[in-house]
A and B are shown apart, each in its own frame.
Chain A
């Protein structure tokens, strides 16, 4: 998509008001509990200014950047996932009054605009599309996901900084947003370079007070994104990763990581692609009605593999192995793409700082002799 122009930082509010006038509920980055999360935004001056996130395995801190930028924070624990695949929702209700009748409870058709999605988040969404939308990989569309997907407007931000846990460059998913956005912003000294990624995005941009972008600004933007990519020190080597992991299912490293893993499921909750969910019934006290709900589940829970009174994966070693082999290897078999987009959230938000790249590297360094 061609560059549409420059938007002064002080005029970002026009974008928010334009979206609101078009009927969008607008969410953007806010600070809560010491981290950047997405929340409702009604004015640009509600957005946090001058923050960076300092991320390390098992560590996340917001610090002052000593500049006036809005998007240097890179990312928080949330991706786009919860806006499409709800953490908890009622799928249908059933009433029993002599007759039994089922009624689906689809989400309302309410347009939502998200400001601040990163390239890894868009990549994560494209990965989840393959799970929840009908395609060559999947026979059935999930109407709940599909409804929200149709109503989502994305204002992406090309990263001009990376966190220390980021490795999107090695996964070829970022730091520049490639597709799936309606508008993409690249933050410069006191303005944003603005691009449209869809007809809907172009229509919104037509209402903004854009100035023409000069070559100097487009070059600056490209260099800043390139610098963010170069600054990434983590790289995931995915060479023959399916064979590597499945040929090493009894590798001692699985025991080693099981000593450190709390099986808390944080990694799966912050992962933009993890799609496991459980379905449960919440019955009314008189037993005449029931809500059939689903909520995010995790392969790190003991119940995930429950069958006939026992668990298939009673050991943490087996559950970590299930997660990692699925994320990096089985996913390719299932959906033609890795389940990892390189956002690094599972590393940052792991309470014991487990780094999946280190785990893969340890196996790669000393693979088991294949018998």
Chain B
């Protein structure tokens, strides 16, 4: 997938240093990491939508998507919600601390297939993180893509992260951001309702482009089916999936989704690839 010289042992992490830690919201934070080894750092490249395995000493590893700009692969940003044992440990790291990093892994967003087309990004909750590197990628190469529309939904206005970034995207050329919250609050200027409802506000011409989604699976299914009704083809709808992961290289079996390994065949899939199984509970 990429021309990175991989160490002979794909299980072995490399030391990485926390360059900066940003508080994004309640229990949500971003770690900016830099590989210790100069050679490894120089060789590191990633594609939007790929992920790393972050390792916290004594606790274990966890798969986290890369949110930063692929043009600057020496500083690698990860936005994390403290939800389990490892992520709660990562939450306590400060600038200067060291952790382990393996990656990048997986198949990212279809940056080539989407060329020349408009981008419709639909995200829920922390699902905005994996799509962020795609937005950066497209904004850096503005001429390569058509209109960019981000529909982002949160449960509560207080859950909104990346406020400044979103502001800057609103100001970017031919770029639109539509926000919605399940419940309203004073000073909330977005919609109140589900993220599918924001599709009402999207210019119908944009449904001829490419859609990219990340968020809870029921949300992604609802959005994808909605987009199909609006005339989009399953092959033009992409979604980033999540499963338990231990090895990230297709050896440990935890992330299987039918015949797919989320870690190596995904995490980004076209809806055509996963539609049938997403409708079945237990896969």
Q: Which residues of A contact B (CB under 8 A)?
A: 91-92, 94, 96, 99-102, 104, 106, 131-132, 138-143, 246, 249-250, 275-281, 283, 287, 290, 292, 294, 297, 299, 304-309, 312-313, 315, 317-318, 321-322, 325-326, 329-334
Tell me, in angstroms, the Cα distance from A172 to B281 when the chains sit together: 34
Interface contacts beyond A138-B249, A318-B281, A332-B259: sample of 9 additional A-B pairs, CB < 8 Å, sorted by A? A94-B100, A100-B15, A100-B100, A275-B251, A275-B252, A277-B252, A279-B11, A294-B252, A308-B83
Stretch at the interface among B58-66, B108-116, B165-173, B205-213: B58-66
Flag if A249 contacts B280 (CB, 8 Å).
yes
Return the contact of A325 from the options B254, B258, B276 (Cβ within 8 A): B258
Given contacts A276-B252, A276-B253, contact A100 B57 (CB under 8 A): yes
Shortest distance between the CB of B91 and any CB in chain A (Å): 16
Tell me, in angstroms, the Cα distance from A255 to B171 when the chains sit together: 55
Flag if A304 contacts B254 (CB, 8 Å).
yes
Q: Which residues of the other chain, A, contact B250 by a CB distance below 8 angstroms?
A: 131, 138-140
Shortest distance between the CB of A244 and any CB in chain B (Å): 14
Shortest distance between the CB of B150 and any CB in chain A (Å): 23
Flag if B244 contacts A91 (CB, 8 Å).
no
Given contacts A139-B264, A287-B58, A297-B252, contact A322 B282 (CB under 8 A): yes
Pairs A–B under 8 Å by Cβ, sample size 19: A94-B55, A139-B1, A139-B249, A140-B249, A140-B250, A141-B10, A277-B247, A277-B251, A279-B11, A279-B246, A279-B247, A283-B59, A292-B11, A292-B60, A297-B253, A307-B242, A308-B83, A321-B282, A330-B256
Interface membership of B13, Cβ < 8 A = yes
Flag if A278 contacts B98 (CB, 8 Å).
no
Flag if A250 contacts B259 (CB, 8 Å).
no
Return the contact of A306 from the options B244, B251, B256, B258 (Cβ within 8 A): B244
Flag if A281 contacts B99 (CB, 8 Å).
no
Interface membership of B12, Cβ < 8 A = yes
Q: Which residues of the other chain, A, contact B10 by a CB distance below 8 angstroms?
A: 140-142
Flag if A279 contacts B252 (CB, 8 Å).
yes
Tell me, in angstroms, the Cα distance from A321 to B258 when the chains sit together: 10
Interface centre among B59, B281, B282 (most CB of A within 10 A): B282
Chain B residues 199 to 244 lying within 8 A of chain A, measured CB to CB, are 242-244
Write the chain A residue with the least CB distance to B100.
A102
Return the contact of B11 from the options A92, A306, A313 (Cβ within 8 A): A92
Flag if A309 contacts B84 (CB, 8 Å).
yes
Given contacts A312-B283, A334-B261, contact A281 B60 (CB under 8 A): yes
Flag if A104 contacts B244 (CB, 8 Å).
no
CB 8 Å contact bits of B74-116 with A (1 = contact, 0 = none): 0000000001100000000000001110000000000000000
Return the contact of A277 from the options B243, B246, B259 (Cβ within 8 A): B246
Tell me, in angstroms, the Cα distance from A180 to B261 when the chains sit together: 27
Given contacts A102-B12, A277-B246, A307-B242, contact A94 B253 (CB under 8 A): no
Flag if B253 contacts A299 (CB, 8 Å).
yes
Chain B residues 249 to 276 lying within 8 A of chain A, measured CB to CB, are 249-254, 256, 258-259, 261, 264, 276
Q: Which residues of the other chain, B, contact A143 by a CB distance below 8 angstroms?
A: 8-9, 11
Flag if A333 contacts B242 (CB, 8 Å).
no
Write the chain A residue with the least CB distance to B13.
A102
Q: Which residues of the other chain, A, contact B11 by a CB distance below 8 angstroms?
A: 91-92, 104, 142-143, 279, 292
Chain B residues 1 to 31 lying within 8 A of chain A, measured CB to CB, are 1, 6, 8-15
Q: Which residues of the other chain, B, contact A333 by a CB distance below 8 angstroms?
A: 258-259
Q: Which residues of the other chain, A, contact B252 by a CB distance below 8 angstroms?
A: 275-279, 294, 297
Given contacts A102-B100, A275-B253, A309-B83, contact A315 B58 (CB under 8 A): no
Q: Which residues of the other chain, A, contact B283 by a CB distance below 8 angstroms?
A: 312, 322
Interface centre among A140, A246, A294, A313 (most CB of B within 10 A): A140
Q: Which residues of the other chain, A, contact B1 by a CB distance below 8 angstroms?
A: 139
Q: Which residues of the other chain, B, contact A100 by a CB distance below 8 angstroms?
A: 15, 57, 98-100
Shortest distance between the CB of A124 and any CB in chain B (Å): 16
Tell me, in angstroms, the Cα distance from A144 to B276 when the chains sit together: 36
Q: Which residues of the other chain, B, contact A99 by a CB distance below 8 angstroms?
A: 15, 98
Write the chain B residue with the least CB distance to A334.
B259
Q: Which residues of the other chain, A, contact B57 by a CB distance below 8 angstroms?
A: 94, 96, 100, 283, 287, 290
Flag if B246 contacts A102 (CB, 8 Å).
no
Q: Which residues of the other chain, A, contact B98 by a CB distance below 8 angstroms?
A: 96, 99-100
Q: Which residues of the other chain, B, contact A279 by a CB distance below 8 angstroms?
A: 11, 60-61, 246-247, 252
Write the chain A residue with the least CB distance to B243.
A307
Tell me, in angstroms, the Cα distance from A308 to B13 when the chains sit together: 23
Shortest distance between the CB of B162 and any CB in chain A (Å): 20
Which 5 pairs of residues, A with B, have the shortest CB-CB distance? A333-B259, A318-B282, A283-B58, A276-B253, A330-B259
Flag if B84 contacts A312 (CB, 8 Å).
no
Q: Which residues of the other chain, A, contact B259 by a CB distance below 8 angstroms?
A: 329-334
Q: Which residues of the other chain, B, contact A138 by a CB distance below 8 angstroms?
A: 249-251
Return the contact of A307 from the options B58, B99, B244 (Cβ within 8 A): B244
Flag if B12 contacts A131 (CB, 8 Å).
no
Shortest distance between the CB of A303 and any CB in chain B (Å): 8
Shortest distance between the CB of A160 and any CB in chain B (Å): 35
Given contacts A91-B11, A139-B264, contact A276 B282 (CB under 8 A): no
Write the chain A residue with the least CB distance to B1.
A139
Flag if A132 contacts B246 (CB, 8 Å).
no
